[in-house]
Chain A
Amino acid sequence: MTLDRRAFMAGSAAAATLGFGSAAAADDKVIRFGMPMDFTKIYTFVTAEYSQGQRDYITLVNERGGVNGYKIVTDITDHANDIPRAIEAYERFKREGAVLIDPLSTPVARALVPRVLEDRINMITAFSGRSDAADGSAFPYVMPLSPNYWTQAGVIIDFFRQQDKDLKGKKVVLVHIDTPFGREPLPIFQALAQKLGYEFQAFPYTPPGNDQAAIWPQVRRARPDWIVFWGAGVGQTTALSEAVRNGLPMDRMSSSVWLSESDMEVAGKDATKGVLKFQAAAGGRDPKVIQDILKEVAAKGKGAGPEGKIGTSYYNMGVMMGAIMVEGVRVAFAKAPNGPVSGPWLNEGLTSITDFSAEGLMPAMTSTKEDHQGGGKGRIVRWDGSQFVPQTDWFTANQDLVWAEIHKYSEEFKKSGK
């Protein structure tokens, strides 16, 4: 080896000085979105596709001339689900003038909540973060703008009720990862069990969930009428494989939003035929906006990733969130055409979105200063061996229970930290 000590030390020092001084050029006709996400650690199963969808949509908007003459600039970086790294990225984006931040990570979102509330920068916590952030009066700058986990649980149970007409005396089990994320929907399932009269049983498995062999025979023995499995990434494919192995009825199993085409491929496309999941944005390439991206972005070689990923569940969720952000910018311009572009200015837009459906990609959503969830509409889709087929229209259910839960925790948040 010829690399000597001095060269190694000098190289490291040079890299350090270069890496410190990265400043972005200021431009007055841009709106900056900071997107520090976890590309390398825990959320890898979703980040790449989600981010690709988001960026492709924003490229589409910019190619068409931006919003009101303003271009939207996305700053992407990896925070590896590590809080010091995420805070560094957040502070850097803040200095560069970002008015919106999308960390796509529950721990990072939790850690950033005090900062965004203080700095008045909009934080998108789509399908992540605190569910009680739906209460805009407690979290003015935290924007889930998507159906939270309590809503997803409420909708899934309502679908079961629609199928069986009556859930009285039925048995619903929840197989979930034993983390705060996995335990989050429990109160809704329990409250609904009281209301609808089904019997409820929960089966926690230890994180990260790559071994669930001990749980599923117990699930089979419980003879459930309906099964909900609640996890993400490897936990989901393992749950499906174990369910198949134990001969559980696939058409009576439902997941939250975290189930994708690639999960189905891992667990076996045909073996898992019939599995249900909650869907927040239409999948596939049929929606008009996905077609537009294919024509105006991907075909011109401006796509942010492999073209084959366009139209997957998570890609479309990225497009959905990109569209909502841009719609927020549009509404903000409609309210205050001269800006100035700032966190509070964008917040006015993001909290006044009315009946926006991204040209049919998603259910019409309406956000207000109080409701940051945006109505909580979704639908149940079924895997037919090659794609997820809608079983219902866009609908929402049990929002009274969901909001009771939201208020319970947001009230607590208001009291704490004082």
Chain B
Amino acid sequence: MFYRRSGIRHTRYAEERQLWPLRFDRWLVGLAVALLVAAPLLVDRLYLVAYLLPWIIWSSAALGLNLLMGGAGQIHLGYGAVMAIGAYTCVHLVRAGVPFELAMLAGGLMSALVGIVFGAAALRVKSLYLAMATLAMQYIVDFVISHVPAISGGTQATISVPPVRFLGVPIEGDIATYFFALAVCAVITSFMLNVARTSFGRALAAVREKDYAAEIIGIDTFRYKLLAFWASSFIGGVVGSVLVVCYLRSVSPDQFHLDLSVQIVAMVIVGGLGSVLGSFFGAALVLFAPIIFNNLIGTVTAGLGIEIGSDLRSHLPLMLYGALIVGFLVVEPLGLAKIWDNARNYFLVWPFRHAGR
């Protein structure tokens, strides 16, 4: 049917190695991109600023963490702190008069620098111990930010982001911020899609599977683990500055606490470790499931005229959300991306149930 593989014959290596060899996949990607670009015309302002924009930013962050967790197999519980470093560096530089283009990159570099300092310490430990080490990073960064008035901005601990321009275009209002975030997300997404095909990505995959086996086949694990921390933290820093410039418009320490880190780890795991598409699915689920359940219960109780106490009214969505996460992980432990993949596989061989091997 539409997911047709027959008739696709590759005559050159480049064709065989392309990201989406199936025509239908290319159509789907094209459709998704077209919908995202046309979104400001298609959807109500509410959905643009309160759903699509945060979704794109959080997905970008999840992609950055996915490089480290899914790509290199290193857990990181301090990604919120990484983003905070980028955000604060960027805002302070912009306030000092540095152009936003440079400030954003500087934010990324600063995150990457601090990231590998902790990454290097973390290299001596693995798995759960690495989780603890990165958790320590979260707390140390939190502490430094909120205890240095020069960083946090004094008693009120809130700094407003000045109006910024990117390549001459002011990043303000609903449309410009959306497209800017979308553009950054597109760059990160294409990096993530391609990184798995590079020697860097393959080296990371080897490290992820077994680091001393990787060492034996000639991969400098020390270097590649550090590089993974560097690249992932760089992305985190850039996304942090996009987050404050496009979405929050002011920066304060409590925006980057452990909650944010855990949220992004959840997105990566629920979405699917190492999957680009999964990061988008995971971000959508973690960000919007509580909101949607909340609205749903509001609509249902109002529509049916049921009076429930405000305690139950506000906790019920969270219970459903928890059940949903458990449900998805029971149905498919490999994440939402795997569910998508299952559906795709079904259509690939339709009308048969299995492909002959």
Contacts and interface: CB of A to CB of B under 8 A. Distances in A.
Contacts of B58: 84
Nearest to A15: B296
Interface in B285-302: 287-288, 290-296, 298-299
B42 interface: no
Given A19-B295, A52-B310, A132-B156, A87 B255 contact: no
With a 10 A CB-CB cut-off, give which of A78, A107, A131 has the most chain B CB atoms: A78
A376 B49 CA distance: 37
Contact of A416 (B54, B152, B159): B159
A40 B317 CA distance: 10
A13 to B, nearest CB: 11
A48 B315 CA distance: 12
A223 interface: no
Interface in A334-354: none
A40 B296 CA distance: 17
Interface SS of chain B:
helix
Given A9-B339, A78-B314, A416-B95, 20 more contacts: A12-B324, A19-B294, A19-B295, A20-B292, A76-B310, A83-B255, A84-B54, A87-B49, A91-B50, A110-B156, A110-B250, A110-B254, A114-B160, A179-B146, A180-B155, A409-B155, A413-B160, A416-B160, A417-B160, A417-B161
A214 interface: no
A8 B327 contact: yes
B331 A8 contact: yes
Contacts of A115: 249
B154 A409 contact: yes
Nearest to B255: A83
8 contacts: A91-B45, A95-B45, A114-B160, A114-B250, A179-B146, A183-B155, A186-B155, A305-B310
B315 A40 contact: yes
B154 A412 contact: yes
B200 interface: no
B298 A77 contact: yes
A304 interface: yes
Interface string B231-269: 000000000000000011110111100010000000000
Q: How large is the interface on B (under 10, 10 to 19, 20 to 34, 35 or more residues)?
A: 35 or more
Contacts of B252: 107, 110-111, 180
Contact of A180 (B152, B291, B292, B320): B152
Interface of B: 44-46, 49-51, 54, 58, 95, 146, 152, 154-163, 247-250, 252-255, 259, 287-288, 290-296, 298-299, 309-311, 313-315, 317-318, 320, 324, 327-328, 331-332, 339
A288 interface: no
Contacts of A71: none
Contacts of B49: 87, 91
Contacts of A18: 296, 299
Contacts of B259: 82
A5 B310 contact: no
Most buried by B among A51, A84, A187, A305: A84
Nearest to A150: B155
A15 B292 contact: yes
Interface of A: 5, 8-9, 12, 15-16, 18-20, 22, 39-40, 48, 51-52, 76-78, 80, 82-85, 87-92, 95, 106-107, 110-111, 113-115, 130-132, 179-180, 183-184, 186-187, 304-305, 405, 409, 412-413, 416-418
Contacts, number: 147
A51 B250 CA distance: 27
A51 B311 CA distance: 11
B314 A111 contact: no
Nearest to A24: B302
Nearest to B332: A5
A130 B156 CA distance: 6
Contacts of A85: 290-291, 294
Contacts of A179: 146, 254
Contacts of A76: 310, 313
Nearest to A184: B155
A66 to B, nearest CB: 20
A39 B310 contact: yes
Contacts of B160: 113-114, 413, 416-417
- Max count, chain B CB within 10 A of own CB: residue among A9, A304, A305: A9
Contact of A130 (B158, B287, B290): B158
Task: Indicate the member of B50, B154, B158, B248 with the most A CB atoms within 10 Å.
Answer: B158
Among A15, A106, A110, A418, the most chain B Cβ lie within 10 Å of the Cβ of A110
Which 9 pairs from chain A and chain B are nearest by CB? A19-B292, A417-B160, A39-B314, A78-B314, A19-B296, A180-B157, A88-B50, A114-B249, A91-B50
Contact of A83 (B248, B290, B296, B309): B248
Contacts of A180: 146, 152, 155-157, 252-254
B98 to A, nearest CB: 15
A95 B292 contact: no
Nearest to B247: A87
A51 to B, nearest CB: 6
